[in-house]
Structure 1
Amino acid sequence: MTSRKARTSASGHSRFSFFLSVWKDGVPQGRHRLRRCFFQLHHRPGGERQKQRRVRRFGRETSADRWLVQYQMEMMRSLRHVNIDHLHVGWYQSTYYGSFVTRALLDSQFSYQHAIEESVVLIYDPIKTAQGSLSLKAYRLTPKLMEVCKEKDFSPEALKKGNITFEHMFEEVPIVIKNSHLINVLMWELEKKSAVADKHELLSLASSNHLGKNLQLLMDRVDEMSQDIVKYNTYMRNTSKQQQQKHQYQQRRQQENMQRQSRGEPPLPEEDLSKLFKPPQPPARMDSLLIAGQINTYCQNIKEFTAQNLGKLFMAQALQEYNN
């Protein structure tokens, strides 16, 4: 991942790219050596000039989606011709403050993982990385969530049957970063040349803007979660109320049939209760799971941030007491 892409991501727009790899001898099954990536183009409605370019390039007019797919295939074919990694094995997306647990990412990763089982998504946070801590994690959808997404049934009953919680949505894949020997030598020289006077910055507290932004995002997600809880509670009350009405209706019909039988009259004809008592539409619970997962991510970020600062405060206090 180049510094240029990191600067582009930090400008305020989320970027994403494809990963290309090849199978190497000695690499265990299920692992990749990811060394190539290229940006996915976004279609922007243009004039006749852009339209003519696409016609000259592909020989015919194409829709925006088809044009992007053809661009991807052409790029991979060109890389294969020059003997460069060309297997599409995943993608990465830049994010800010860990805000990546969204429905768009879930749908995209499901599409990739459904087509290629080994596909992964890398989440890169340029803001956290700029503060001195590399934020790069790889995720895959769990097998349980893949089955639920294939069925496209996100009702409360289906998620409960599949034992799907926000903790069982994504599984983290370990990442090992290996630099070339020249880069390792360069890093050693830079570390050796670093001024000793800068060592005191190790006890400097991090900016409170990062903590404030995470708290603000956390409160927003908690508000969304409370709204979803209200909707779900309303659904449960309506369901319980309808079940009571259905039970009362069945009891009245049973009593009336007993009275008709005592008078020698035929019983009432059977009725389809599902037409009389249509069950309320259950709310989709996938959004609630995503919100819960995002809340958990924000809490982990706040925990890491406060743990580092508290450690520095205790170290500074110990040094001050030692000097006194």
Structure 2
Amino acid sequence: MAESAVKEIPLNSVQVEALVVMKIVKACSATFPTTATGSLVGMDVNGTLQITNSFPFPTADVAASDSHPNDHMAASNLAAAAPRSKANVAYQNEMIKCLREVNVDANNVGWYTSANMGNFINTSLIENQYYYQKEMNERTVALVHDVSRSSQGALSLRAFRLSPNFMAAYKEGKFTTENMQKTKLTYKDVLIELPIIVHNSHLLTSFLHQLPAELPKEELEFPASLQELTANQPPIPLYPNLESLDLSIDPYLEKTCDQLLDSIETHYTELNNFQYFQRQLAREQTKVTAWKTKRAAENATRAAQKLAPLPEDEWERLFKLPTEPSRLEGMLNARQVEQYSRQVDGFTASITSKMFAVKSNLLPESS
């Protein structure tokens, strides 16, 4: 009863310990540009998924001396499929068993992966998350850490889950136009993003609040009660950040635009393939209609001659209608295009505002 009541509460946020964030950042940065994956452990408390520990999956090392670009690509593919491989499933169970012996949270709550320039929406992400989410303990998430974006100074860590509609469609494996129209499934319904809260212990929070302040020269007057401490909170000093005044265009903007154009070209390729299928289907259906008309005329003639009619379902054996290609790749690519578009919007927002601020200095004649 208690488990069913817990499952009825939907997940609304993900709380990640600061130590887990540091572990994920370190593991993803150490293997960059190869994809890094790992397991997450924690617990679900009233709709908030608390992630308290993590450990990486073992991957095959690529020799730096005789490495080839294809070697890193193959290593990335192996690492992307690591969460659902049999060897890593056994490794994960053994690690969770060891964590349970030392009285640490030992409930698997998902997995994490690294990304480069926001390029993470692919079949590997879907297959891994479906593998975790289809089990009995389906309250799992996928954490995505963008190494390139985080290198600019702002942590990029996002949590995703597969939507229930997409889970049902992926279980059936029918991503046809008819089924998608029936279920009203679009590229926006593939992933659900959950807000992330980075949690620190109270001792660490107190240390961080005192770190930027100067050492007191006089004896401190400690508050008499918690209410007094809450009422008179110490001011937090501001950090001067001169890099935010830089007028240079973001170096990642050009790369993101190139990847956006590549995704749009992939979309047109998928569209051309589907149009080719429609032409092939129309051509075959025209042949089937002509054959049925001819067979109906032959049966009418045979009926006038009082002969047995010929079967009218032989067209299924004579003609083979083309199979409709899966629309899953097109959906994921459309979702990736949306991801790149949001990144471009985020890059250009700050640059445009700074350009307008110094417009009179850049273009004196326009003022």
Q: Does the TM-score normalized on the shorter chain lie above 0.5?
A: yes
In the other structure, the counterpart of 1:60 is none
CA RMSD of aligned residues (A): 2.9
Task: Give the aligned partner of residue 109 of structure 2.
Answer: 89
- Give 2:138's aligned residue: 117
Residue segments in structure 2 that go unaligned for 5+ positions in a row? 1-19, 63-83, 215-236
Which residue pairs with 2:70 in the alignment?
Answer: none
Code of the aligned partner of 2:102: V
Letter in 2 for 1:37: S
How far, CA to CA, are the matches of 2:85 and 2:192 in structure 1?
A: 30
Deviations 1:174-197 (A, max 9, x none): 21222234444454456568x999
TM-score after normalising by structure 1: 0.83
Is the contact made by 1:18 and 1:40 (CA closer than 8 Å) also made in structure 2?
A: yes
**CA pair 136-5 structure 1, distance change in 2 beyond 3 A:** closer
Aligned residue type for 2:301: Q
Mean CA deviation greater in 160-169 or 300-309: 160-169
Structure 1: gaps of 5 or more residues: 46-63
Matched, 1:35 2:47: no
Distance (Å, rounded) in 2 between the aligned partners of 1:168 and 1:15: 26
Identify the residue that residue 73 of structure 2 maps to in structure 1: none
Aligned-residue sequence identity (percent) comes to 28
**1:149-298 correspondence runs (5 A):** 149-188=170-209, 199-205=241-247, 207-298=249-340
Contact 2:39 2:92 in 1 (8 A): no
Aligned length: 300
Q: SS at 2:167's partner residue? A: helix
Q: Which amino acid aligns with 1:94?
A: S
Give me the whole-angstrom Cα distance separating, in 1, the residues matched to 2:361 and 2:207. Answer: 33
Q: Return closer, same or farther for 1:191/1:280 CA change in 2, 3 Å cut-off.
A: farther
Cα distance in 2 for partners of 1:98, 1:303 equals 13
Tell me the CA shift for residue 157 of structure 1. Answer: 2.5
Q: How does 1:297-308 map to 2 (within 5 A)?
A: 297-308=339-350
Q: Deviations over 1:109-138 (max 9, x none)?
A: 001000122111011112212213221111
TM-score, normalised by the number of residues in structure 2: 0.74
The answer on whether the counterparts of 1:129 and 1:135 sit within 8 Å (CA) in structure 2 is yes
- Aligned partner (choices 19, 23, 45) of residue 40 of structure 2: 19
Residue 143 of structure 1 and its aligned partner are, at CA, apart by: 0.4
2:148 is the alignment partner of 1:127: yes
How far has the Cα of 1:230 moved from its partner?
0.8
1:35 is paired with a residue of what secondary structure? strand
Structure 1 residue 301: deviation in Å? 0.3
Deviation at 1:277, TM superposition (A): 2.1
Compared CA separation, residues 150 and 217, structure 1 to 2 (3 A): same
How far apart, in 1, do the equivalents of 2:271 and 2:197 lie? 40
